Chains A and B, each alone.
Chain A
């Protein structure tokens, strides 16, 4: 093929470039950057005059010396994070309740009445309103408020310049686990939402360490799981001690589970970097940006749009079909029993070996779109499978109770013990990521293999941990 009249074609050019590169040798790239900086320095010397000491830099440094100091660094960090979580959990209660009363207590009966007026067949009404709508309503009311608080707070810390200091402080811990210091950020982000944590792993350059951060993000106890932890801890752990101590002890148990999650995160990172993702921790060069006052309104707006709505939308997309499935398994009957009851009866004995029960297993399988709907699903299934009359809202209809004592009663009627409670807390920490996160992992890694590893590794770990907890417990009691 003739290209040009000059007897030169593009392939010749590329080949000439290759020859030149072989002649230039290994590190000529250094020469290029050095000459750019040489000019940069020369121009800066001509045009910039440092009149006196750089006071702004000095001041930032003073703050840094406190925030990263040996004695104060970690306490400040824990206080900041604890404050964020406390604000999230406490602040979300009221709006969550309002949303729930609007979407679930008010709109749901209204929709049901409307469906009845239209003479909608009972199964269509069940699938659409009790299944799809209710699960969507649930996800919105439980997920939206904490995220709408957590993400702006987190973004404020980020804009302020605090988060890079967290990575700076935590790096050595993660380096020892073969991971990257910035994993401290994806990990804390995961406390808000694992899907967001997985996306945040983009800030890690090295593909190996980024993958480790993605796979282990699920061990951060996300917003969706905090309510489960708090409820179960209040019922089963708080119930073990005098009422005066109950609040403190159950809060301690929840924090304990979260810390255990961090432990697993580091342990699994270490395990991965010693085996499948073998390698030394790579580079860490991180700019500690100057402190700048964050712009509160802008932060509120953007973190709501960029993170909260984005994640919420993905969750809704997955929650709707799951709601339909939840309704169907409770209402499709084969041989006199619903699919759910068949499954629960078949798996119950096996699940007991792990200190769990069939209801929990089924709930975790069908409530995969969002950890938020695990508790309502468990309650519905418990009522269904132990035929507790007069409770709940009918088969396939998820519900929750205002009174913790009533919830405890249902669970105890379903055969729950303290062990079941403890193991549910453990399993809630160590199980597959929600489908939103799984999908996000796939989008970020483009790899089916790593998506499957991220999905099943925590389940296997969870079952192992639950098994040993149950057996040691039984041995001791």
Chain B
């Protein structure tokens, strides 16, 4: 007899109790196979990714990073950077030499022109994806790097160029790193590690290293971001304390060395901490002081287009039936803004009445 019929008969013989059990098993199996990221399907298709190519591209990226930061690179440091055994690293180097992607002088490894442009292509894909993830998707900040690490080996430079065009051809990734142009141009490295700053120095964060993840996560929790002004108030033996946006932050030298700072002439940032828009109660009004740099891309532009710019009067007028979002009056229009976004908008409380128009 045909299979579905005999299967059905078998199932029916067992009665609904067993059927339920089988059903649950079937659903569980479905989940096990198709669960995104961790299911069998995802694992099998990941296995398809050419691990050799991934390793090779990672090595080129690492070598480029050494070169960009003007550090010498040897077999040891490469193996350490890629977290592979010396043995494996030397085989990898062998291959790269054969392919003409790197050259060797004594112990020092360096990229050939071909190798450099290959590395720049991979870096471009990586950084554009990070930018895209940060600006256009809701992917959490700590996952950008990991996600982009996956994409950089899968997506073609052409597809990346199209993506870049879509998001306004960005020139910086969300960590503050410059994105190489399609022709492989990249500006010189700016700034120095935060750990090298002295008391009284004023600078601006230009880069936050996103590897290793454990350190990066900590820095994200501290609320640090590229573009943030820092003013060093105290340097102790293994600790550096600095003021940012009115907040004070203390990091160990290890952590501080993961932050690159561009020195700035001028005065220290204001010590007064701004209130957040979300703290405004319905009926209160204030003046917009600025939008946090953690609000990026389209989201930031949209808020500014709606009139959320420094100096604008803003008043909380109406709360949604579910409590969030709140409608704010900006230039005689009610704009609904979620608490999540209102947390990213700084205000200065003023005592003037909310309804004047100057």
Query: Which residues of A sit under 8 angstroms from B237, Cβ to Cβ?
Result: none
Query: Which residues of B sit under 8 angstroms from A18, Cβ to Cβ?
Result: 171, 181, 185
In the complex, what distance in Å separates the CA atom of A15 from the CA atom of B323? 49
Stretch in contact with the other chain, from B19-27, B80-88, B208-216, B265-273: B19-27
B9 in contact (CB, < 8 A): yes
Known contacts: A26-B293, A346-B4. The answer to whether A280 contacts B19 by CB under 8 A is no
Contact of B183 among A15, A209, A349 (CB under 8 A): A15
In the complex, what distance in Å separates the CA atom of A411 from the CA atom of B337? 52
Chain B 179-191 near chain A by CB (<8 Å), digits 1 or 0: 0010101010000
Stretch in contact with the other chain, from B51-59, B69-77, B122-130, B328-336: B328-336
A464 to B, closest residue via Cβ: B27
Interface positions of A from 24 to 47, Cβ below 8 Å from B: 25-27, 29-30, 33-34, 37, 41, 45
In the complex, what distance in Å separates the CA atom of A181 from the CA atom of B320? 12
B45 in contact (CB, < 8 A): no
Interface positions of B from 1 to 30, Cβ below 8 Å from A: 2, 4-5, 8-9, 11-12, 15-17, 19-20, 23, 27, 30
Interface positions of B from 134 to 156, Cβ below 8 Å from A: 136-140, 143
A21 in contact (CB, < 8 A): yes
A179 to chain B, nearest CB (A): 10
Query: Which residues of A sit under 8 angstroms from B309, Cβ to Cβ?
Result: 30, 33-34, 37
* CB pair B20 A285 closer than 8 Å: no
Chain A 199-237 near chain B by CB (<8 Å), digits 1 or 0: 000000111110000000000000000000000000000
A53 in contact (CB, < 8 A): yes
* CB pair B338 A475 closer than 8 Å: no
The residue in B35, B185, B298, B327 that gathers the most chain A C-beta atoms within 10 A of its C-beta is B327
B112 to chain A, nearest CB (A): 23
A280 to chain B, nearest CB (A): 4
Known contacts: A168-B320, A275-B35, A353-B12. The answer to whether A61 contacts B301 by CB under 8 A is no
Interface positions of B from 334 to 358, Cβ below 8 Å from A: 334-338, 340-341, 355-358
Interface positions of B from 219 to 238, Cβ below 8 Å from A: 226-227
* CB pair B227 A26 closer than 8 Å: yes
* CB pair B137 A282 closer than 8 Å: yes
In the complex, what distance in Å separates the CA atom of A282 from the CA atom of B344? 13
B158 in contact (CB, < 8 A): no
Query: Which residues of A sit under 8 angstroms from B291, Cβ to Cβ?
Result: 30
In the complex, what distance in Å separates the CA atom of A73 from the CA atom of B319? 11
Chain A 437-476 near chain B by CB (<8 Å), digits 1 or 0: 0000000000000000000000010001001100111110
Known contacts: A349-B5, A472-B16. The answer to whether A172 contacts B320 by CB under 8 A is yes
In the complex, what distance in Å separates the CA atom of A283 from the CA atom of B325? 11
Query: Which residues of B sit under 8 angstroms from A96, Cβ to Cβ?
Result: none
B354 to chain A, nearest CB (A): 10
* CB pair B320 A73 closer than 8 Å: yes
Interface positions of A from 272 to 318, Cβ below 8 Å from B: 273, 275-276, 278-289
In the complex, what distance in Å separates the CA atom of A25 from the CA atom of B171? 9
In the complex, what distance in Å separates the CA atom of A361 from the CA atom of B343? 51
* CB pair B19 A285 closer than 8 Å: no
B308 to chain A, nearest CB (A): 8
Stretch in contact with the other chain, from A62-70, A254-262, A389-397: A62-70
A57 in contact (CB, < 8 A): yes
In the complex, what distance in Å separates the CA atom of A73 from the CA atom of B323? 11
Known contacts: A61-B317, A70-B323. The answer to whether A282 contacts B138 by CB under 8 A is yes
A5 in contact (CB, < 8 A): no
B115 in contact (CB, < 8 A): no
Query: Which residues of B sit under 8 angstroms from A460, Cβ to Cβ?
Result: 30
A173 in contact (CB, < 8 A): yes
A403 in contact (CB, < 8 A): no
* CB pair A74 B321 closer than 8 Å: yes
Contact of B336 among A205, A280, A288 (CB under 8 A): A288
* CB pair B138 A281 closer than 8 Å: yes
* CB pair A288 B327 closer than 8 Å: yes
A376 in contact (CB, < 8 A): no
* CB pair B138 A471 closer than 8 Å: no
* CB pair A287 B5 closer than 8 Å: no
Contact of B11 among A73, A173, A353 (CB under 8 A): A353
Known contacts: A30-B304, A287-B306. The answer to whether A54 contacts B338 by CB under 8 A is no
Query: Which residues of B sit under 8 angstroms from A347, Cβ to Cβ?
Result: 4
* CB pair A68 B321 closer than 8 Å: yes
Contact of B321 among A73, A273, A473 (CB under 8 A): A73
Interface positions of A from 92 to 147, Cβ below 8 Å from B: none
Query: Which residues of B sit under 8 angstroms from A50, Cβ to Cβ?
Result: 356-357
In the complex, what distance in Å separates the CA atom of A207 from the CA atom of B166? 12
* CB pair A284 B320 closer than 8 Å: no
Query: Which residues of A sit under 8 angstroms from B306, Cβ to Cβ?
Result: 285, 287
Query: Which residues of A sit under 8 angstroms from B66, Cβ to Cβ?
Result: none
* CB pair B318 A65 closer than 8 Å: yes
B305 to A, closest residue via Cβ: A33
In the complex, what distance in Å separates the CA atom of A79 from the CA atom of B311? 41
Query: Which residues of A sit under 8 angstroms from B356, Cβ to Cβ?
Result: 50
A18 to B, closest residue via Cβ: B181
B255 in contact (CB, < 8 A): no
Query: Which residues of A sit under 8 angstroms from B336, Cβ to Cβ?
Result: 164, 167-168, 171, 181, 284-288
B295 to A, closest residue via Cβ: A283
B172 in contact (CB, < 8 A): yes
* CB pair B171 A21 closer than 8 Å: yes
Contacts A69-B321, A207-B136 supplied; 10 other A-B pairs, CB < 8 Å: A22-B178, A64-B317, A70-B319, A205-B302, A206-B136, A275-B36, A284-B336, A349-B5, A350-B5, A464-B23
A-B contact pairs, 10 of them (CB 8 A): A34-B304, A57-B332, A73-B321, A167-B336, A172-B325, A278-B36, A280-B138, A288-B334, A471-B23, A474-B15
7 closest A-B pairs by beta carbon, nearest first, are A73-B321, A279-B138, A50-B357, A280-B138, A474-B16, A283-B299, A275-B36
Residues of A within 8 A of B (CB): 15, 18-19, 21-23, 25-27, 29-30, 33-34, 37, 41, 45, 48, 50, 53-54, 57, 60-61, 64-65, 68-70, 72-74, 77, 164, 167-173, 175, 178, 181, 205-209, 273, 275-276, 278-289, 346-347, 349-350, 352-353, 460, 464, 467-468, 471-475
